[in-house]
Amino acid sequence: MSVICEAAYVWDVGTDDLTWLGDAAAVLKVDPRSIASNAAFSGFLDPDNLVSRYDTIVRSGETDRGDGVCYQIQYGFRPEGASGRTIWVEDTGRWYASSDGRPVRAVGVVRAINERHEREQRLAYLSRFDELTGQFNRTHLVEVAETVLANAKRYRTSGAFMIAAIDNLGIYNDRFGFDVADQVIAGVAKRLKADMRSGDVIGRYSGNKLGIILNSCTDEEMEIAARRLRAVVRNAAIETAAGPVSISISMGGVAYPRYASSVHDMMIRAQEALDKAKATGTDSYMPYRPCKERETQRQQNLKLAETIIQTLDSDQFAFALQPVIDSRTMKPAFQECLLRLDRGDGHLASAGHLIPAAERLGMMHLIDTHVLKLAIATLKARPDLVLSVNVSVGASADSGWIASLLSQTQGAPDLARRLIVEITESSAIENIEATRRFVERVHGIGARVAIDDFGAGYTSFRNLRQLDVDMVKIDGSYVSGCHESPHDLAFVRALVDLARSLGVEAVAEWVEDEDDLAVLRELGVDYLQGFILGKPTEVAQPVQISGEATVRLAG
């Protein structure tokens, strides 16, 4: 049994004797004679444990109806004492009662689960914290914002939500490199956190932006806090591997619930204020103030936000799949998932109008998560498919999205191998280092990454090499009609050559006629996509089963 890191035991509750069956020493790293009673065994337990075998059995309050009572707990075991390492143990068994109903005997198995525990702890950490800064990630920041806003309404208090943007971070990227830029982001977050009150909250909002929640804070106090926080960043350089770097931040904030009655209001209005502040120059601050035109726009945004939420809640988002063809065999290599709306009439409608709205309203993370969930469900339902899905720029900075991908593909490496994650070139070059880490994590899980609309952002050779993506999808505006345009054809040829030199596969989008098709195959484009090769087909529709999204396949 010790080969698989487990050992069985019998515990006589009355005498407290603990008899071990199997090699307990190999599992628990102690002499079995030192754990011959449950009391002795308990002496090795981590004092921070929330559960113990004794409490689980003796104080369970359950009744043995003749076949025993099952139990399963996890706890830390310290074979070397309080200062030594911890072995995480899963303790599973069944206890039996005497005629008076009290536990008299337990038979169980202990297993060492350190790797599983570390994996679970890592997933739990990534679901709440940003890996670079160590502060809350955006997903958890939103959860905290929901709580503080509800409390402010309930107890009739006020607070402030601010967004702090690091000024001119792109210049530091170019001058010192992306590692230094990351150190700047982490250093600013650490410095702001150190200057904040213990009850206040800071988190990674997006690439170079940090979200700040100030509890029990009036509109006037928000301005004072913004002045102080900007000064604490400005007044001392941030230490980096390239030496000290002088940094400033610009801030926008909104008082809640006075000017923000929802979390969406908080974030949108703080961003509006930040945009106004940045328009005046660096190291600036602007509070949100309402106006009629903006209120009209806000009402329109509310309707769009409601539509997006209803669409998500009712599982109306669905996929139409468009084949991407291998140029050598002219057979489908994979399918791109195109987001559609299921209106319930048997046909799918475009969801294109909702995506810009979701990006503007800060709701793309919800759609990204739903798209991932739907893609995984489709892969499970169709083992013959390889799928590519599009995600927003926010996904690359959201460790919660990566944690979701990891948890949904855990134990099923085939799912990850059949998934391609597409990010647009414009979003990829917005923060090259963040994108590089995103690509690295996706690769670590086993999936591939493609850059969509390649050529629109003029990615350099150095940047493409640094990103280490698997595939580039050449922007269709250069592909369509390229056989008639020497300039477009030359540009497509240059992009294909660039991709080939780095061992990256190239996809040509918007292939609409036979002449373009022939030219592209002659250039050596690896894959082709367009209406002439296959239109999007309505093959996957979402349904709801036990709270989990799955797919119903047509035909």
Confidence of residue 540 (pLDDT cuts 50, 70, 90): very low
The CA–CA distances, whole Å, from 96 to 11, 61, 125, 546 equal: 10, 13, 38, 35
Spell out the residues 6+ positions from residue 471 whose beta carbon is closer than 8 angstroms to its own. 420, 448, 449, 450, 451, 504, 505, 506, 507, 527
| pLDDT at residue number 541 | 45
Query: Do 452 and 409 have their domain in common?
Result: yes
Tell whether 275 and 342 lie within a shared domain.
no
Q: Using 50, 70 and 90 to split pLDDT, how confident is the model at 6?
A: confident
Choose one of 225, 257, 290: the last residue of a domain.
Answer: 290
Per the structure, how many domains does the chain have? 3
Average pLDDT over residues 175-182: 81
Give the C-alpha separation, 342 to 365, whole Å.
20
The DSSP symbol for 187 reads H
Average pLDDT, the chain: 88
Which residues, including other chains, have CB under 8 Å from residue 528's CB and lie 6 or more apart?
A: 324, 325, 327, 507, 508, 511, 517, 520, 521
Residue range 50-85, pLDDT digits in tens:
889 999 999 888 899 889 999 999 999 999 887 788
117 in any annotated domain: no
Give every CB contact of residue 430 below 8 A, 6+ residues apart in sequence: 207, 393
- Are 130 and 92 within one domain? no
- First and final C-alpha spacing in the chain: 49
- Most confident range (mean pLDDT) of 1-5, 88-92, 316-320 is 88-92
HEC-encoded secondary structure of 520-546: HHHHCCCEECCCCCCCCEEEEEEEEEC
Assigned domain for 119 exists: no
d(C-alpha 466, C-alpha 436), whole Å: 7
Q: What is the pLDDT of residue 525?
A: 96
CATH number, domain containing residue 82: 3.30.450.20
CA 428 to CA 463: how far, in whole Å? Answer: 9
Type of residue at 409: T
The pLDDT of residue 158 is above 80: yes
Structure tokens at 328: 């050598």
Angle in degrees, CA 76, 80, 82, rounded to 5:
65
135 close to 129: Cβ distance less than 8 angstroms? yes
Q: What is the pLDDT of residue 281?
A: 93
User: Torsion-angle region of residue 506: left (phi > 0), alpha (psi -120 to 50) or beta?
Assistant: beta
Q: CA 513 to CA 481: how far, in whole Å? A: 8
Residues 167, 28 share a domain: no
Q: Which residues contact 198 (CB under 8 A, 6 or more apart)?
A: none
Strand-strand pairing, 471-474 and 505-508: parallel
What confidence tens digit (pLDDT) does each residue in 96-153 have?
Answer: 999 899 999 999 999 998 888 888 777 777 778 888 898 999 989 999 999 999 999 9
| DSSP bridge pairs for 348 | 342
- DSSP letters of 262-314? SHHHHHHHHHHHHHHHHHT-SS-EEE----HHHHHHHHHHHHHHHHHHHHHHT
Looking at the structure, tell me whether residues 197 and 266 fall in a common domain: yes
Domain containing residue 345: CATH number? 3.20.20.450
Same domain, 271 and 306: no
> Is 129 a member of any domain?
yes
The per-residue pLDDT for 377 is 93
| Confidence band for 92, pLDDT divided at 50, 70 and 90 | very high
SS3 percent helix, strand, coil of the chain, rounded to 5, is: 45, 25, 30
Rounded to whole angstroms, how far apart are CA atoms 394 and 400? 11
Mean per-residue pLDDT for 400-416? 90
Tell me whether residue 144 is in a domain.
Answer: yes
The continuous run of DSSP H or E covering 466 comes out as: helix 461-467
pLDDT band at 254 (very low <50, low <70, confident <90, very high): very high
**Statement to judge: residues 272 and 309 lie in one domain:** no
Same domain, 205 and 166: yes
Tens digit of pLDDT for each residue in 194-241? 999 988 999 999 889 999 999 999 999 999 999 999 999 999 999 998
Residue 506 and residue 495 in contact, taking contact as beta carbons nearer than 8 Å: yes
* The three-state (H, E, C) secondary structure of 347-411, written as one string: CEEECCCHHHHHHHCCCHHHHHHHHHHHHHHHHHHCCCCCEEEECCHHHHHCHHHHHHHHHHHCC
CA angle 329, 318, 303 (to 5 degrees): 140
| Neighbouring residues of 238: CB distance < 8 A, sequence distance ≥ 6 | 183, 184, 187, 188, 191, 244, 245, 246, 247
CA distance 141 to 135: 9
For position 267, which CATH number holds? 3.30.70.270
Please give the angle made by the CA atoms of 342, 397 and 189, to the nearest 5 degrees.
140
For residue 245, being part of any structural domain is answered with yes
**Residue 118: inside a domain:** no
Residue 190 has pLDDT above 50, yes or no: yes
Tell which of 78, 112, 146 closes a domain. Answer: 112
Q: Which amino acid would we find at residue 320?
A: A
> Which amino acid, 448?
R
Instruction: Tell me, yes or no, whether 242 and 306 share the same domain.
Output: no
For the segment 152-176, the average pLDDT, to the nearest whole number, is 90
Query: What local confidence, expressed as pLDDT, does residue 555 receive?
Result: 34
Taken as a whole, the chain contains a residue count of 555
pLDDT at 544: 38
pLDDT at position 512: 92
d(CA 481, CA 520): 11
* Average pLDDT score over residue span 506-527: 95
Tens-place pLDDT, residues 270-281: 999 999 999 999
Residue 422 sits in the same domain as residue 506: yes
Q: Which domain holds residue 254?
A: 124-290
Residue 295 lies in a domain: no
At residue 551, the pLDDT reads 43
Q: What is the CA radius of gyration of the chain?
A: 28
Find residue 303's DSSP bridge partners: none
- Report helix, strand or coil for 248: coil
Q: How far is CA 329 from CA 324, 508, 521, in A?
A: 12, 15, 11
- pLDDT of residue 545 exceeding 60: no
Three-class secondary structure assignment of 99-120: CCCCEEEEEEEEEECHHHHHHH
254 and 138 inside one domain: yes
* Nearest-angstrom CA–CA distance, 325 and 311: 31
pLDDT, one tens digit per residue, over 456-500 is 655 566 778 888 899 999 999 999 999 999 999 999 999 999 999
Q: What is the pLDDT of residue 150?
A: 95
Question: Other C-beta atoms within 10 Å of 313: how many?
Answer: 9
Q: For residues 164 and 193, state if they share a domain.
A: yes
Would residue 91 be called left, alpha or beta, if left means φ above 0 and alpha means ψ between -120 and 50 degrees?
beta
Q: Are 327 and 533 in contact (CB under 8 A)?
A: no
pLDDT in the model for residue 458: 58
Whether 543 shows a pLDDT value over 60: the answer reads: no
**245 pLDDT more than 80:** yes
297 within domain boundaries = no
Report the largest interatomic distance among the alpha carbons of the chain, rounded to a whole angstrom.
93
Please identify, among 265, 290, 315, the residue that sits at the C-terminal boundary of a domain.
290
Beta carbons within 10 angstroms of residue 94's beta carbon: 15
- Give the residue, 12 or 550, on which the prediction is more confident: 12
Interval 357-406: pLDDT, tens: 888 788 888 899 999 999 999 999 999 999 999 998 778 777 889 999 99
